[in-house]
Chain A
């Protein structure tokens, strides 16, 4: 059977056609995720996908696994409850830049900090697609949105840097325009024990593309492809050279970082052994974070003015 037909077993084909616009990148990322599910041989009953609200989050409505279409911004909080209730589940969150980084920003940093074994795939289209193209926290300064008709004046988040700083133990970025590497990153993210964050840069030709160059989905895909650069190549470049670039690959990985659910299981064990009365465990110094894989980079700033002002490299590249 061809691969396309194979992933159909994880799709509610009866619910198609989907709601996404022609040229939308959401289907590409969803497909990449499903191929990862297929390749990893995940058990359907034990795989739960949680979405928030947004075009991207709507992917859960087509996926034939356990799926929860939650509320705006809170997918990670739902997922945390699910994972803790059923540690045997593989829990994946599909979210958008608005859902995951604006309204859900607090849950995002705390899920990273706990390093709970959840994989979060964030569809970054740099706008609020579903509600009509408003400013998002990943929109580049100068970009136009319906709520920034004169151009956005807000600096944007580099979500990978945010995730890493907050404590995620697997951080990666891929682009919809380069589908196989993205698929591999998703697979690695799911396999990783701990909080895995994968930013997928996707085109929204309708709401972002119609207000910001380059217009048209092919041009948008070509543009991200031209600007994307692997993490190893980026390590050899200066911040100046990295401006406007989209650094892809695994940006941070730490297999030893303590995972939340397992840590909790150890607490249960202690409590059940009657340890509640025993003196608390002596405080252990926090293990030093693993250094970054590469020289850090600033976000893919295209219209650039505000982005480079603080784009100083951090110490500690490998």
Chain B
């Protein structure tokens, strides 16, 4: 069972260059989705996205800016977004940290924006070329205050393309920044980018409009009247708590109403925002819940297990936030264990535990040595949990 929707445009992909890098696929997805504004600051392992945009954006009349740091980058993006451009930036952990204050501003002023964070091992400078999933909670709670967050996670090159497009669509419809997380290996690996794969995800039409000042015709109902600079309304935009006029308010009722609507516009639409894939549905006592590179290992572990006579379910999450509560709880009800392999010390496992612990035992399998979690490692852990060679 796969819950997925996006649209695709395969036409632009040159079949002769089908073996492409994850970061490049991300840039192509962004361009195909109508992104015409990029501001960034180089950082491994995300720089290839920026470099691709430097080549491609001028060709389509878009704006490319290398700013003086990541703070300037995201602020320039917000400026571009307020002026009606579909804007995007790409970075990695240290740069993502610098962006946090401005991300809160973008959320507050409801500026659609795409932020790609190709994660590297942290904290601090860490290991720039080692894969990691250490930014999961930063993506959720990096900026201060109670705020909504839409966070997607890519697990392969095709994801880098299609999730980038999904992220753009979400940003437009919900008028909020959307973060796409990839781990270093997903950004840097080269894979064949099969047209059939893209075809599978061909979606409804007409969702991408390439004109500046585009406002999604079906905004989520909790979205406040969009303020686009250059419109007749000559709006005021502020990070202060404001009402629908855009001007600040100190009124407790209005403040609460505004903040709740901001929060709910994401929380109330989990059904639309939560993308996932369940493999081997309803089989086995263990479900591996995984995202990013670990989801690939999880899927391989399932195949490996099958060969060895063991059934295991896989829940591959494409959306980390808003929390996919419904599917997690549904699966939790039927399995004895949920195993969460991730390249951190259990950041997402804690979230899963909160959702699932009434029904199942949630086991965190974290790794922070800068190497990937292999299918074998996952399978070993599964067999440890259920006993080897269990009947099919």
Whether A74 contacts B71 in the complex (CB less than 8 A), given A67-B236, A69-B238, A82-B80, comes out as: yes
Q: Given A68-B236, A85-B84, output 5 extra A-B contacts at Cβ < 8 Å.
A: A70-B78, A81-B80, A85-B63, A86-B83, A272-B59
A-B interface, 8 closest residue pairs, ranked by CB to CB distance from nearest = A81-B79, A81-B76, A271-B58, A77-B75, A85-B83, A69-B238, A77-B72, A78-B79
User: What's the Cα separation between A276 and B238 when bound, in Å?
Assistant: 40
User: What's the Cα separation between A24 and B234 when bound, in Å?
Assistant: 27
Could you give, for residues 270-303 of chain A, a 1 whenever the CB lies within 8 Å of some chain B CB and a 0 otherwise? 1110001000000000000000000000000000
Whether A80 contacts B65 in the complex (CB less than 8 A), given A48-B229, A71-B75, A74-B71, comes out as: yes
Could you give, for residues 56-77 of chain B, a 1 whenever the CB lies within 8 Å of some chain A CB and a 0 otherwise? 0011010101011101110111
**Interface pair B212/A60, CB less than 8 Å apart:** no
**21 A-B pairs in the complex with CB atoms less than 8 angstroms apart:** A45-B231, A64-B234, A68-B229, A69-B238, A70-B75, A71-B102, A74-B71, A74-B72, A74-B75, A77-B79, A82-B79, A84-B37, A84-B76, A84-B79, A85-B79, A85-B87, A89-B83, A106-B68, A110-B68, A272-B58, A276-B59
Write the chain B residue with the least CB distance to A83: B79
**Interface pair B68/A68, CB less than 8 Å apart:** no
User: What's the Cα separation between A85 and B230 when bound, in Å?
Assistant: 11
Write the chain B residue with the least CB distance to A269: B58
When distances are taken between beta carbons in the complex, the residues of chain A under 8 Å from B76 are 77-78, 80-81, 84
Whether A81 contacts B59 in the complex (CB less than 8 A), given A61-B247, A86-B83, A107-B68, comes out as: no
A108-146 CB contacts (< 8 Å) to partner B: 110
Using a CB–CB cutoff of 8 Å, the interface residues on chain B facing chain A are 37, 39, 55, 58-59, 61, 63, 65, 67-69, 71-73, 75-85, 87, 101-102, 105, 212, 229-232, 234-240, 247-248
When distances are taken between beta carbons in the complex, the residues of chain B under 8 Å from A276 are 55, 59
Whether A81 contacts B39 in the complex (CB less than 8 A), given A66-B229, A71-B102, A268-B61, comes out as: yes
Write the chain A residue with the least CB distance to B101: A71
Whether A69 contacts B239 in the complex (CB less than 8 A), given A85-B63, A271-B59, A276-B55, comes out as: yes
Whether A61 contacts B236 in the complex (CB less than 8 A), given A46-B230, A77-B79, A86-B229, comes out as: yes
User: What is the interface residue range for chain A against chain B?
Assistant: 35 or more
**Interface pair A66/B230, CB less than 8 Å apart:** yes
**Interface pair A68/B231, CB less than 8 Å apart:** no
User: What's the Cα separation between A85 and B39 when bound, in Å?
Assistant: 11
Q: Of A61, A82, A264, A270, which one neighbours B83 at CB under 8 angstroms?
A: A82
When distances are taken between beta carbons in the complex, the residues of chain B under 8 Å from A236 are none
Could you give, for residues 245-274 of chain A, a 1 whenever the CB lies within 8 Å of some chain B CB and a 0 otherwise? 000000000000000000010011011100
**Interface pair B63/A84, CB less than 8 Å apart:** yes
When distances are taken between beta carbons in the complex, the residues of chain A under 8 Å from B58 are 267-268, 270-272
> How far does the Cβ of A47 sit from chain B's closest Cβ, in whole Å?
8
Write the chain A residue with the least CB distance to B65: A84
Q: Of B77, B212, B235, B248, which one neighbours A81 at CB under 8 angstroms?
A: B77
User: What's the Cα separation between A48 and B239 when bound, in Å?
Assistant: 17
User: What's the Cα separation between A15 and B249 when bound, in Å?
Assistant: 11
Q: Of A71, A82, A106, which one neighbours B229 at CB under 8 angstroms?
A: A82
**Interface pair A15/B87, CB less than 8 Å apart:** no
**Interface pair B232/A45, CB less than 8 Å apart:** yes
Most chain B beta-carbon contacts within 10 A, residue among A67, A68, A270: A68
Q: Of B75, B85, B247, which one neighbours A78 at CB under 8 angstroms?
A: B75
Most chain B beta-carbon contacts within 10 A, residue among A61, A79, A84, A85: A85
User: What's the Cα separation between A86 and B230 when bound, in Å?
Assistant: 9
